[in-house]
Amino acid sequence: MNFEITDRAKEKLLLMKEQNLPITIMRYPAGLLGIKYIIVPAKQTENDKLYNVDGFDIIVNKDCEFENKTVKIDYGGLVLKDFIVTPKVS
């Protein structure tokens, strides 16, 4: 699995890191849109995977299916600002 992290996302991830908050990618049901991936400050569980990317320890929840994909992490939004996690086929 590969990660692409934008500069905007790195700024926000750095704030989480400075506050000793774990950085965890999880699946979130998005109603009719299907599944959305979010970043939350959740601790690592037994079956989660840990990746060190650009100095950030990123936990990927066991329910995320990112095999053979690149995961892009961005930060933004029109009204509500949040992390945007997008899996792409490598």
Q: Where are the domains of the chain?
A: 2-89
CATH code that applies to domain 2-89: 2.60.300.12
Q: What is the pLDDT of residues 25-65, one digit of tens each?
A: 999 988 887 889 999 999 999 999 999 999 999 999 998 87
Residue 90 has pLDDT above 70, yes or no: no
Residue 34: predicted pLDDT: 83
Q: What is the pLDDT of residues 10-26, one digit of tens each?
A: 999 999 999 999 999 99
- What is the rounded CA–CA span in Å between residue 61 and residue 48? 5
Confidence of residue 69 (pLDDT cuts 50, 70, 90): confident
